[in-house]
């Protein structure tokens, strides 16, 4: 009679992977708006550019791998990688920096591992780390100053396009500068906190507008938790660890970056809610997520404080990606009916 016989369950919840990816991407919108409002068109242009490159690279490699292109493009994972990279890169980064980072992220750190779900490292962060070590100049000087700092409106759309695509970097001279994290770290070595704040970069504003960006990402992240797309474990663990480290080792504002700068500057919130929580490369057990998040928080503090780079979300996340499978193996939850959790690897027979 040809009845349909499929295995149970015969019903399915409303969720889908494409939807999950789309929701995560949408949750970055508050952050994107804040970035655009404070730093000009650069970020928005980057996001669009990165998305285009991401989708194009994904499609190209899917063709090479003889996979159904539209089916996989619809999972929105390439799109999300593009969005995250666009948000993370400096607003005035030349177009080729963005293009290299994005295509490397998609091709090498995702598709060459077998595509979505099989990559051990966060693709966006691999792309970011690549351009950070390859093009340190562009990656540190192409940051924009916020309108709060400059006291003037942001650079116009046409000029921004010209800076990014035509290499007319000089146009951005008046609008760009080191990030507050970078500046504070360098200046505090020679002066006191009060002196630093008096400097032009800060103009009396500790976070130089970044606090709004971070708060906007925080809002987006909380929405994700409420929608049960991500769980609280990783962001909470990461921010707590960062806070704790800062209070324990970096409490002296005249020597170290202060806590408020750690939390509300740079890519902290973007990292905590959108990057560290990338499910594919993170730990997946409840306890594992706490350890994983805390690890990122600690590494972030260590690299920011004693390392060569002003910000360190990419490296911290990548380092913990290494540890995730190991963490998972040792943090299995206790199963119903078992007196204690079974952890570790199976004994070799």
Partner 1 sequence: MTNMIRLHTFNGGIHPAENKDQSTSRPIASAGIPSELVLPLHQHIGAAAQPVVAVGDKVLKGQLIAEAEGFVSVPLHAPTSGTIAAIEPRAVPHASGLEELCIVIRSDGADEWITHQGLCQTLNVEHLQDITPRQLVEHIRSCGIAGMGGAGFPTSVKLNIGKQDIHTLILNGAECEPYITADDMLMRERAIEVVKGAQILLHIVGAKRCLIGVEDNKPQAIDALNAALVEVNEQHHIDVVAIPTKYPSGGEKQLIKILTGEEVPSGGIPASIGIVCQNVGTSAAIYRAVELGEPLISRVITVTGDSVARAGNYDAMIGTPVSYLLQLAGYQQQKRERVIMGGPMMGFALPQLELPVIKTSNCLLAPTEKELPLNDVAMACIRCGMCSEACPAELLPQQLYWFSKSQEFDKAEQHNIFDCIECGACSYVCPSHIPLVQYYRYAKGAIRDERAAQAKAEKARLRFEERQARKDREEAEKEARRKARAEAAEKAQQEKKAAAASGDVATAAPAASEELEKLQKKLDAAQTAKAKTQDKLDAAKADESMADKIPAFEAALVKTQDKIKELAKEIAAAKKAAKAAQAAEPAATATDKGDPNSPERLKRKWETAQGRLDTALKRLEQAKAEGLDTVDALQAGIDKQQERVDEAKAAYEAALSGDAPAAPAPSAEELDALRKKILAQEDRVQKMQERHDMAKADGLDTADALAMGVQKQLDKLQQLQQELTAAEALAANANNGAS
For partner 1, the binding residues (CB under 8 A) are 1-13, 15-17, 19-20, 71, 75, 77, 115-118, 228-229, 231, 279-280, 282, 284-286, 289, 328, 332-339, 342, 344-346, 349
Determine if residue 115 is left, alpha or beta; phi over 0 gives left, psi from -120 to 50 gives alpha, anything else beta.
left
Distance in Å, CB of 111 to partner 1, minimum: 12
Residue 342 C-beta: closest distance to partner 1, Å:
6
Phi, psi dihedral angles at 144 (to 5 degrees) = -95, 155
CB neighbours (10 Å) of residue 123?
Answer: 30
CA dist list (Å): 275 to 68, 249, 293: 27, 25, 11
Length of the chain: 349
Q: What burial class does residue 340 get, using C-beta atoms within 10 Å of its C-beta: 0-12 exposed, 13-18 middle, 19+ buried?
A: exposed
Task: Look at residue 73 and give its three-state secondary structure.
Answer: helix
Q: Which is nearer to partner 1, 61 or 183 (CB)?
A: 61
Query: Least distance in Å: CB of 15 to partner 1?
Result: 4
- In order of 46, 162, 306, the CA distances from 313 in angstroms are 19, 29, 14
3-state helix, strand, coil in the chain (%, to 5): 60, 0, 40
To partner 1, the closest distance from the beta carbon of 97 in angstroms equals 28
- Cα gap 16→21, rounded to integer Å: 9
Question: What does the alpha-carbon distance between residue 168 and residue 161 come to, in Å, rounded to a whole number?
Answer: 9
**For partner 1, the closer CB: 2 or 153:** 2
Q: Between 214 and 283, whose beta carbon lies closer to partner 1? A: 283
Report d(CA 326, CA 322) in Å as an integer.
8
Q: By the 8 A CB rule, do 271 and 317 touch?
A: yes
Strand, coil or helix: 176: strand
The residue (of 18 and 162) whose beta carbon lies closer to partner 1 is 18
Q: How far is the CB of 133 from partner 1 (least distance, A)?
A: 28
Q: Which is nearer to partner 1, 45 or 296 (CB)?
A: 296
Closest contact distance (angstroms) between CB of 30 and partner 1 is 22
17 or 191, CB closer to partner 1? 17
Query: Which CB, 13 or 153, lies closer to partner 1?
Result: 13
Give the nearest distance from C-beta 322 to partner 1 in angstroms: 16
**Least distance from partner 1 to the Cβ atom of residue 326, Å:** 13
Q: For residue 280, is the peptide bond before it cis, meaning its omega torsion is within 30 degrees of 0?
A: no
Question: CA dihedral defined by 92, 97, 99, 104, rounded to 10 degrees?
Answer: -140
- Nearer residue to partner 1 within complex by CB, 77 or 246: 77
């Amino acid at each position: 009679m040809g009845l349909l016989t499929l295995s149970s369950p015969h019903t399915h919840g409303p969720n889908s992977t494409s939807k999950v990816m789309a929701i995560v991407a949408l949750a970055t919108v508050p952050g994107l708006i804040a970035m655009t409002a404070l730093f000009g068109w650069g970020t928005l242009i980057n996001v669009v550019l990165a998305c285009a490159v991401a989708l194009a690279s994904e499609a190209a490699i899917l063709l090479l791998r003889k996979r159904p292109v539209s089916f996989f493009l619809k999972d929105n994972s390439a799109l999300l990688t593009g969005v995250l990279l666009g948000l993370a890169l400096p607003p005035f980064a030349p177009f080729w920096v963005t293009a290299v980072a994005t295509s490397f992220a998609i091709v090498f750190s995702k598709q060459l591992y077998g595509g979505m779900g099989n990559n051990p490292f966060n693709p966006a962060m691999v792309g970011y780390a690549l351009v950070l070590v390859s093009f340190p100049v562009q990656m540190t000087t192409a940051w924009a100053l916020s309108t709060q700092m400059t006291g003037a409106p942001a650079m116009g759309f046409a000029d921004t396009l010209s800076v990014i695509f035509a290499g007319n970097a000089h146009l951005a001279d008046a609008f760009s500068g080191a990030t507050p994290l970078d500046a504070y770290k360098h200046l505090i070595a020679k002066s006191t906190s009060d002196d630093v704040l008096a400097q032009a970069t800060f103009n009396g504003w500790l976070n130089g507008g970044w606090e709004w960006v971070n708060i906007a990402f925080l809002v987006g992240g909380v929405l994700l938790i409420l929608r049960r797309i991500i769980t609280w474990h990783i962001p909470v663990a990461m921010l707590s660890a960062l806070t704790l480290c800062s209070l324990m080792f970096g409490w002296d504002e005249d020597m170290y970056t202060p806590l408020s700068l750690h939390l509300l500057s740079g890519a902290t919130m973007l990292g905590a809610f959108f990057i560290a929580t990338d499910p594919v490369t993170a730990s997946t057990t409840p306890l594992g997520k706490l350890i994983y998040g805390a690890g990122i928080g600690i590494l972030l503090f260590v690299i920011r404080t004693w390392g060569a780079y002003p910000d360190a979300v990419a490296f911290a996340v990548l380092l913990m990606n290494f540890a995730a499978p190991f963490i998972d193996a040792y943090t299995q939850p206790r199963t119903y009916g078992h007196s204690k959790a079974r952890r570790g690897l199976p004994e070799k027979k």
